[in-house]
Amino acid sequence: MILYAHKQNNGCNDFAMDMVFVWAPGEGPLSLPDEVGSTLGAEGYRSFELEIHYNNPSRDAGVTDSSGARVYFTSTLRPHELGIYQVGDPLLALGGTDVGDGLTRHDFECPSTCSATTMENDTVTVFRELLHMHEKGLTMTNTQVRDGFPIRSGSVEFYDFEQAGVYSVIQDSFALKRGDSFRTTCYYDANQGDKIGLASDDEMCIAFLLYYPKQTFPAFYCGPDHFAGEACTADYESKTLVDLGEIAVARGNNGVIDNSCGASNDDDNDDSASSSLQVGL
């Protein structure tokens, strides 16, 4: 489920809306920091658009759904606007590409030119990092690189789509500086014929970075074949793995394989009782 917000009353125009909330199985409420919101009204967002991806492989008839998102607002304007930066393959430029038979690794290298050209602020603050794959995903990492050196990495060691479809990395807020780059890596255990795509049976590899203050560049994301040009076009490489050894190293257990563990996503925002997005007016 994705909630988009529109500033203009021009219908469903993909280039005139912002993503403000993303949900997948296991994800809890989103309560924004006290200093962050999204302006509503004449000077801000004027309408919302809800996108839901349904999975009905058996084509059962007569199935209904009442899913939705509840948005809370305040009359006190907050100082910073919410933004979401996406890396990996957010536009599914690789849609239709084979994931590979068996164990595979897929790397997306977002160049430093992306943040250098799209950020008007020298620094923004990332307060939430969400890692997203589908049912064949095993492990995922999103490494931040500055001046050629990795400075931090968000990861989910044992990914389970049903438990945490958008895994929220447990960490403190961190700075994203102009010129930083990202290396997003997804590991899968797939079958022949599995492809990258929108369906639940397909696969994805996307990291969502919720940050403030919002940057005004209309395409603040990075992936293969970016329509805005080479500055935000990520290099992509895939590799077939012989065994679980590399995945074990990526999980940080020095080669010890333990598949008995499941992904967990303990939400540290227990002050909100319902699935919501908090915005400022």
Consecutive 10-residue averages of pLDDT for the chain (281 residues): 81 71 86 92 87 86 90 91 95 94 96 94 96 95 96 94 91 96 96 91 95 84 82 94 83 48 41 34 31
Radius of gyration of the chain (CA): 19
Residue 216: closest CA among 120, 127, 125: 120
CA pair distance 90, 47, nearest whole angstrom: 23
pLDDT number for residue 29: 85
Which whole-number Å values give the CA distances from 80 to 37, 77, 90, 224, 271, in the listed order?
6, 9, 24, 30, 21
What are the tokens at 233? 């076009």
pLDDT number for residue 53: 85
pLDDT number for residue 8: 74
Strands (E) across 76-136 are located at 80-81, 83-88, 102-110, 123-132
DSSP, res 215: P
Local structure of 254: helix, strand or coil: coil
Q: Among all chains, which residue has been given the structure tokens 């603050």?
A: 125
pLDDT number for residue 230: 87
pLDDT number for residue 214: 94
pLDDT number for residue 257: 38
Judge whether 236 and 106 are in contact, CB under 8 Å. Answer: yes
How crowded is residue 239: how many other Cβ atoms within 10 Å of its Cβ? 12
pLDDT number for residue 174: 97
